[in-house]
Chains A and B, each alone.
Chain A
Amino acid sequence: EPEVTQTPSHQVTQMGQEVILRCVPISNHLYFYWYRQILGQKVEFLVSFYNNEISEKSEIFDDQFSVERPDGSNFTLKIRSTKLEDSAMYFCASRETGGGQGSDTQYFGPGTRLTVL
Chain B
Amino acid sequence: AQRVTQPEKLLSVFKGAPVELKCNYSYSGSPELFWYVQYSRQRLQLLLRHISRESIKGFTADLNKGETSFHLKKPFAQEEDSAMYYCALTPITGGGNKLTFGTGTQLKVEL
Given A41-B103, A43-B86, A91-B44; A99-B94 close (CB under 8 Å): yes
Distance, CA A101 to CA B98, complexed state (A): 14
Asked if B44 and A99 make an inter-chain contact with CB atoms under 8 angstroms apart, the answer reads no
Across the interface, do B103 and A45 meet the contact criterion of CB distance under 8 Å?
Answer: no
Query: With A and B bound together, what is the CA distance between A47 and B21 in angstroms?
Result: 28
Question: Main SS of the interface on chain B?
Answer: loop
Counting residue pairs across A and B whose Cβ atoms lie within 8 Å, the total is 67
- Chain B residues with CB below 8 A from A48, complex form: 95-98
Residues of A contacting B44 in the complex (Cβ-Cβ under 8 angstroms): 43, 91, 108
> Provided the pairs A100-B93, A101-B92, A102-B51 are in contact, do residues A42 and B102 lie with their beta carbons within 8 angstroms?
yes
Evaluate contact between B92 and A103: CB separation under 8 angstroms.
yes
A10-25 CB mask vs B (1 if < 8 Å, else 0) is 0000000000000000
Chain A residues within 8 Å of B, Cβ to Cβ: 3-4, 31, 33, 35, 41-45, 48-50, 55-56, 58, 91, 93, 95, 99-103, 105-111
